[in-house]
Structure 1
Amino acid sequence: MRPVPSYFRAGLALLGLVAVLALPGHAQAQDIDAREAQQASEAATGPDMVLWESLATLAEAALADSATDSAILLDLRAQLVEKRAAFLAVQDASRERVAALRRQIEALGPPPEEGETDPPEIAERRTALNEQLSRVAAPGITADEAFRRADGLIRTIDRVLRERDADALMTLWPSPVNPANWLAGVDAVFSSGFTVYGEALGNWRDPAVRVEFRSNLPVMIGAIMLALLLLMRGRRFAEQVTQRLQEGAQSRRGQQAMALLTSLSQIIVPLAGVFLLVLALEVTGLLGETGSATVSAFVVAGMYYLTARWLGGQIFTRAELAYSPLRLPRERRREGRFMASLTGLFLGLYALANAFIEPDVQTDAANAVISFPLLVLAGVVLFRIGQLLLLHARQSVQQAAEAEEPAQASFFDRLVGVLGRIAMVLGIGAPVLAGIGYVQAAEALLFPAIESLGLMGLLVLLQRLVGDIYAAITGGGEEATEALIPALIGFGLALLSLPVFLLIWGVRTSELLEIWQVVREGFVIGETRISPTNLLSFLIIFAIGYTVTRIIQGALGSTVLPKTSLDRGGQKAVVSGTGYVGIFLAAVIAFSTAGIDLSALALVAGALSVGIGFGLQNVVSNFISGIILLVERPIAEGDWIEVGGTMGIVRSISVRSTVIETFDRTDVIVPNADLISGTVTNWTHHNNTGRLIVKVGVAYTSDTREVERILREVAEAQPIVALNPPPSVVFLDFGADALEFEVRCILRDVNFIMKVRSDMNHEIARRFREAGIEIPFAQRDIWLRNPEALRGEAPATPAPANPAPVASTAPRRPVQPDDPLSDAARPDLDDLSAGPADGGDTDR
């Protein structure tokens, strides 16, 4: 059997998305009410098992006979699908009534143990409910068995039809290259032409047809003239308007979307002209069955050609535009537009040939000879388009290399390169298969490949349209088109296009509806059936609850809480707690509204809780610690804390961790468990006051009372230092190098402690310099035990047992560990350290 024609697949592809998302029974609105009424009646009284048994037996007999026509199997399959839906409705209704009766029985209490009896009223009621439960459960059990039988028969029919399609694709026809078969093709063309001519001539001989023809002649002439005007002038005008909008699209936001939407007139206006031509031919009354089918195919052929021409103009743009999908030279883009138009032309001719020749009544040799030229021409065009796509991918890598960027193409460029190679292989392989005789396999590969490339190009344009609309709404620039939301919408469009791709590649609508039926039925967990309807209800209710929660959080954080006496940390804790409670309530309400019984998941959750508890104990510990932090609030956002050697400002507190911004402007993420179990220093917990201690050392010759007075005046002069309690100056100790003092004062805002310390140090240095008070530094005496060893000489006399230290008279300076003695200074040290044996003066 010849596969479904390409134009018919295209029509299904255009409606595939709607068909998959809609209910199977929505194809005929007038039958919906009757079918639903029948299913409701069967759900209440149980299915008609006698009728079902006869239908199932007939389907099994048809499957047992290998000669059964595929059309009969498809009709039986449609009836089985209706019965299966009715059985599913009976199961759902029975399940609800059985659950209600079981709850009633459980309300009577546990059944009596052996040797015990219920009170007479309870025993009588328990018996009545058990009998009612048996009666109510019977239709559900019967429907479950019938449902499984119908489902098995449907799957068997689908398998048989797929096997027949596969066998048809691998059927070897007479080779169209063989000249002996050419006569069959020519004879088929002429016989079809004579058929159309004979039908028109027979109708013309009817006087009533001639009268109708004369009366409709003005309508025909007007329709033809208007059609020619739309075809010749309308398309050119639409192309000029679109080109002007495209050239100005880079200067105005939203102009790309306007240009793309306006360019659709390039399809609509000429297609209206094609419709008028078909209308003019139809109203003549001269067309027969074959002629009407051929004329109607003109509409499909025109749609193919005009759509391919429009798509080629959008993908292979005329002007140098920044948003062009393919980066190709001008001459290659012009060639791409021409090749795209040829693909639409060949697809249209293929649709016309299927309507004019009637392949079902022709021989295999005739069908092979007629299809072969179109397959060869379409293969050449597809091969050339593949080369253009591959050229784009290579130029993308080359441009990245010239721009001194990593020569790694984007996902889109890599995908275009892969598609180009596949198109080149199919462009060569399909005509070769057709030349051998596998014409049906060649048709099933070549024409769907062309349609798939067209659909991918359409997805690219839709992605560009979404990005431009998003940029116009948000007021962003070119970078807004690459934002997350347009990317997610584009991904959703790609997912929604999958059923259309399946239809293009020969998947039957019934098979897609079968997949949708399985998805609609969902899956059962315990006694709860979860279907897409439940999931959709859950997502909608949860999204509403989540949105309301965020609105309440925003109102609390910006309007209500700032007017209370709570500090900023407390306000944040209230807002966070409201968010967690709101999200939890939204989830619970969503589960309840969707009818998902969480008790059915209790056993599974209990089994997983042990493993999850061990694996996520740190996460749970941090979560509980985060709740404690939000409730007790030992720290709050904006606090200056020190934990584990990290000091900084708390920026955010979540249920798992806390972010601390250090004074180096780096973010340190600390697990909440460390803040609860460890030692935390909070400098600004209750208030911002804090103590500052400044240590100062003065020379031993300084007047200590004068030093105390100066230090107190310096501290009291700082504006941020509190005067109650007043600053204090403490004479701590007699140090090794200085008299040690400390200035202790309370700051009203400890966040400025470093600035106050620096200002006080500057002021102390100035005041001490004016008062002649010296701030000493460390002093050290150097003594060399064996100076002659440094000169490489033997000691003249034995060194004394307890040599006296040698004091240096050189200016003293702090000893620097990284300041080695130079060779020039070494003789002076040797002189200073010379002992009595060398004539040195030990008193020095």
Structure 2
Amino acid sequence: MSRFLHAFAIALIWLCAVFTGGVTAQNAPQETPDYKTWEQLADLTEKAIDTGASTNEQFEVLRQSVVNFRARFATVQSANEPRISALKRQIEALGPVPEAGEEAAEIATRRAELEGQLQELQAPVQVALAAFQRADAIVGEIDSIIRDRQTKRLLSLGASPVNPSNWPIALKELEHTFSNLSAEISLHKDPERRRVLRENAPLVLFLLTISLIFIFRGRAWAGFALSRLRAMGGRGSGVWRFLVSLFRIIIPLIGVAIFAHALRVTGLAGERINLILDALPVWAAFLLGFRWLAERLFSRDPDDALILLTPEKRAQARFLLLLLSVFLVVRGIIRLLLEFDSMQPEGEAVLAFPIMVLIGVTLACIGQLMRGYVASDGTEEEDTPRGTSMVRAIKTMGTGLIAISVIAPLMAAVGYSEAGNALLYPAVSTMLVLGGVAVLNRFAADVYGLVTGMGVQARDALFPIFVGFFLLLASLPILALAWGARVADLTELWSRFTLGFAIGDTRISPGDFLTLVIIFAVGYGLTRLLQNTLRVSVLPKTQIDIGGQNAIVSGLGYFGIFLAGLLAVTGAGLDLSSLAIVAGALSVGIGFGLQTVVSNFVSGIILLIERPISEGDWIEVGGQMGYVRDISVRSTRIETFDRTDVIVPNADLVSGTVTNYTRGNKVGRLIVSVGVAYGTDTRRVEAILKEIVEEQPMVLRNPAPMILFNNFGADALEFELRMILRDVNWIMNVKNDINHAIAKRFSEENIEIPFAQRDVWLRNAEVLKDPVSR
């Protein structure tokens, strides 16, 4: 079996154990640990550590038993936590013990009772804490011993496969293995076995026929299914191709499994043949899986290829991946044959070395293809940040594969076969896992495109990026196992994670954090729902202006978020009192370093409560004029008449001078100036201007508009039209209409609107004469 398949299987088992174990641990009743049994186990384990004579398997068994006890001790430590906290609060409520003078008898008696109950509840916790620390130390010592042994095994110098003296040993061992296999086959050629074969012959023939049909017709059936699914709609073509590609390997794999079962039914298979038949579906899964991955990564269809190379290079990459799967299957066959009979290390090194060299050469070719990758698919252009990062990652991986394909065989040739294996085959596993993550990420993007109707454009959306991140995170345990990590290492990491971390006297576990997030998310969602309900359904039916409505909605949002955070911390059971000193020290730094931000925040609260300005008001501040569009906790957004947004800090609006043209009401005054020529009848001009103003529907009749003969100007008799508008937002429209009306009436009444005239006097006019004439 390959190391990758073994690592993948262990990872799945580990994940199932983690989730099922976590549920069981939460639902199981708390029991007092058997400390007597624990002491015996701890003494036995410590003696085994001191002697160092136990094997890794024995240490793993002892370690698992210690870990089980450690989990119980951790549970006991938090068993009486609510009651202990309640007793501590009661003792604190009694106040400190007086330094001078006697305490009241009633208080002293009550204090003694509470302290006695507290000691009684803390006793099992303290015992469990001591046992937990001892168990944790034992686990650490066992892990250290096993890691040291693994390191020594990797760095141990063994037999060199290029040494000709080791070749006869390998040939002899291989000949011995095949002779034993042949003897087993011939051993079962007896009349009884032949009778069983004759009786099962119809079933064997039927199973063989079915298996061959599945093996050779599976891809054709899948292609037919793809053509039918494509007819259902083009938007889901990527999803259909992925599903059909899975059927192309599942159907032949079922055929191989049926074929292996048919051979078992013959009754001719012995122990070794049964092992080969058991491994046959696994080898077939390798061949088909590699082919499937190659067709997904380097598809013949450019629109479906994840790594877009030229058609010739994609064909070459598919061939290399298929060749790599063949070499890995051959390696699996050799390892299975070596398991039949105990083979000497020299023979094992010689037999494994040619396959390692072939795999290394194949990896080097794949790495060379990846180093020559250039994004040219039109969607991942190399000059974009995403395209550049993808190209760099693929080229870096190609360089790493080339380096490993050279270093690993050289190490094995020298005699460090374990180190070479630990370097080469995990690299293959890493390449496969990352390729699988890329394929699943593309499938998730296609599903997202099918559901949302975005189609192929969904591959560039944000959702596939998050899916890829979580897929990569989920693949980390598999990669760790492939590179030599033990299942115990992963479970230890998970146990450390579940224990959480301590802040002062408070320990925050993942469950507490999850509770905090859920409560805050629910509170945040309810706050937004209430805000939307008020904004859409309730407040529009009241007499509150739009600015007041926005202030109510914003204030409710701030209060709701603060309340959600407070409830989340309380609901999670977090005691943050121990952080009071730290928070006090941080507040000083925040006060100096973020005083501008805090000032703007407080100013934003003042604006929402006092409401000197509201959303929709026409204001002028700092030389900027426009409408208030949004008031946030830090700044206010003003939309100018040029349709540009100006972000003004709230502190400037509170401490500075602000002109609000529409505060409280929209009534405003308009002044229009006009001049007429000297000699014009001023009373007649006044009457005409009054008629023009009174014709404007936006001008209020009370107070009445005023026509003022304002001044005797240098060039004209100057008049002013002063009027109050119903809505000052229409000031420019009204001024435009009035100017047009004045120009029209003055033209009809032959009233002249003068303009400035100037006489130019030239001194020394003789210098302007033509020099030629002079």
**TM-score class normalised by the smaller sequence:** over 0.9
Distance 1:92 1:389, change over 3 A: same
Is 2:15 the counterpart of 1:22? no
Amino acid at match of 1:59: T
- Counterpart for residue 124 of structure 1: 109
**Greater CA drift, 295-304 or 474-483:** 474-483
1:799 corresponding residue in structure 2: none
Q: Comparing 505-514 with 434-443, which one deviates more in the overlay?
A: 434-443
Partner of 2:45: 59
- How far apart are 1:118 and its partner, in Å? 2.5
Letter in 2 for 1:99: S
1:205-604 to 2 correspondences below 5 Å: 216-239=200-223, 241-242=225-226, 252-321=234-303, 323-358=304-339, 361-393=342-374, 409-604=387-582
The Cα offsets for residues 803-834 of structure 1, whole Å up to 9 and x where unpaired, read as xxxxxxxxxxxxxxxxxxxx68999xxxxxxx
Structure 1 residue 455, shift from structure 2 partner: 1.4
1:103 aligns with: 89
1:174 aligns with 2:159: yes
Letter in 2 for 1:670: V
State how 1:417-816 maps to structure 2 within 5 Å.
Answer: 417-782=395-760, 787-788=763-764
SS for the counterpart of 1:775 is coil
* TM-score using structure 2 length: 0.93
CA RMSD of aligned residues (A): 3.0
Judged with a 3 Å threshold, the aligned counterparts in structure 2 of structure 1 residues 825 and 161 are, in CA distance, closer, same or farther, namely farther
Structure 1 351/214 Cα, relative in aligned 2: closer, same or farther at 3 Å? same
Q: Is structure 2 residue 158 aligned with structure 1 residue 154?
A: no
Q: Residues 491 and 5 of structure 1: is their aligned pair in 2 closer, same or farther, counting only changes over 3 Å?
A: closer
- Conserved in 1, the CA contact under 8 Å of 2:236 and 2:455? no
Task: Please point out which of 178, 182, 186 is paired with 1:193.
Answer: 178
Measure how far apart 1:411 and its partner are. 1.8
In the alignment, the residues of structure 2 paired with residue 569 and residue 90 of structure 1 have an alpha-carbon distance, to the nearest angstrom, of 57
SS in 2 for 1:295: helix
- Taking the aligned partners of 1:220 and 1:100, their CA distance within structure 2 comes to 74
Give how far 1:210 is off. 7.0
| Letter in structure 1 aligned against 2:211 | A
Conservation of the 8 A alpha-carbon contact between 2:523 and 2:564 = yes
Matched, 1:143 2:128: yes
Change over 3 Å in CA distance of 1:66–1:210 after alignment to 2: farther
Return the alpha-carbon distance in structure 2 between the equivalents of residues 398 and 587 of structure 1: 42
Residue type matched to 1:350 in 2?
Answer: R
Paired AA for residue 124 in structure 2: P
- The offset of 1:244, in angstroms, is 8.0
TM-aligned CA distance change 1:350 to 1:224, over 3 Å: same
Question: In the TM superposition, what is the alpha-carbon distance from 1:285 to its structure 2 partner?
Answer: 5.0
Partner of 1:838: none
Deviation at 1:126? 2.8
1:510 is paired with a residue whose SS is helix
- Deviation, structure 1 residue 526: 2.7
Query: Structure 2: how far apart are the matches of 1:773 and 1:826?
Result: 48
Structure 1 unpaired stretches of 5+: 793-822, 828-844
| TM-fit CA distance, 1:566 | 1.6
Note if contact 2:446-2:455 (Cα within 8 Å) is conserved in structure 1.
no
Q: Distance in 2 between matches of 1:337 and 1:245?
A: 25
Quick one: distance in 2 between partners of 1:543 and 1:211? 71
Instruction: Give the Cα–Cα distance (whole angstroms) in 2 for the partners of residues 414 and 528 of structure 1.
Output: 45
| Contact 2:661 2:668 survives alignment (8 Å) | yes
Q: Percent identity?
A: 46
Seen in structure 2, the aligned counterparts of structure 1 residues 706 and 824 have a Cα distance that, compared at 3 Å, is: farther
Name the CA distance, whole Å, in 1 between partners of 2:129 and 2:88. Answer: 19
Q: Tell me, yes or no, if the aligned pair for 1:359 and 1:367 is still in contact at 8 Å.
A: no
1:729 is displaced (CA, Å) by 0.8
Deviation readout 1:758-813 (Å, 9 max, x if unpaired): 222222222223323222233445556xx44x767xxxxxxxxxxxxxxxxxxxxx
Aligned partner of 1:41 in structure 2 is 31
CA distance in 2, matches of 1:455, 1:319: 23
TM-score normalised by structure 1 residue count = 0.85
Displacement of 1:108 after TM fit?
Answer: 4.2
Report the secondary structure of 2:161's partner residue.
Answer: coil
CA distance in 2, matches of 1:23, 1:529: 24
CA shift for structure 1 position 125: 3.6
Give the direction of change, closer, same or farther, for the CA distance of 1:5–1:496 in structure 2 (3 Å limit): closer
The alpha carbon displacement at 1:122 in A equals: 4.0
Q: Matched residues in 1 for 2:692 and 2:770: separation?
A: 43
Say whether the 8 Å CA contact 1:522–1:531 is kept in structure 2.
yes
Distance, in Å, in 2 between the alignment partners of 1:296 and 1:749 is 88
Q: From the superposition, tell whether residues 5 and 780 of structure 1 become closer, same or farther in structure 2 (CA, over 3 Å).
A: closer
1:13–1:504: 8 Å Cα contact kept in structure 2? no
Aligned to 1:836: none
Between 346-355 and 502-511, report the one with greater CA deviation: 346-355
Q: CA deviation at 1:198?
A: 4.3
Matching residue within 123, 133, 140 for 2:118:
133
Q: Residues 347-389 of structure 1: CA distance to partner in whole angstroms, max 9, x if unpaired?
A: 2232332222129932221111121121112112211211222
Larger radius of gyration: 1
* 3-state secondary structure, aligned to 1:549: helix
- Change in 2 beyond 3 A, CA 1:263/1:243: farther
Distance 2:560 2:771 in 1: 80
CA distance in 1, matches of 2:616, 2:71: 62
1:477 offset after TM fit, Å? Answer: 4.5
Amino acid at match of 2:31: S
Q: For residues 36-95 of structure 1, give each alpha carbon's deviation from its aligned partner in whole angstroms, at most 9, with x where no partner exists.
A: 56xx222xxxx4333222222222222223443111111111111111111111211244
Partner of 1:820: none
Q: Distance in 1 between matches of 2:489 and 2:52?
A: 21
Q: Counterpart of 1:138 in 2: which secondary structure?
A: helix
SS at match of 1:621: helix
Q: 1:433·1:439 contact (CA, 8 Å) conserved in 2?
A: yes
Q: Which SS does the other structure have where 2:79 is aligned?
A: helix
CA contact (8 A) 2:666 2:728 kept: yes
Structure 2 residue aligned with 1:803: none
Tell me which moved more, 533-542 or 357-366.
Answer: 357-366
Specify the SS of the correspondent of 1:741. strand
**2:693–2:699 Cα contact (<8 Å) kept:** yes
Letter in 2 for 1:530: I
* Number of residue pairs the alignment of both structures matches: 772
Name the residue aligned to 1:72. 58
CA contact (8 A) 1:5 1:354 kept: no
How far apart, CA to CA, are the structure 2 residues paired with 1:365 and 1:225?
43
> Could you tell me how far apart the structure 2 residues matched to 1:418 and 1:627 are?
52
Shift of 1:599: 2.6
Structure 2 CA distance, aligned partners of 1:754 and 1:398? 50
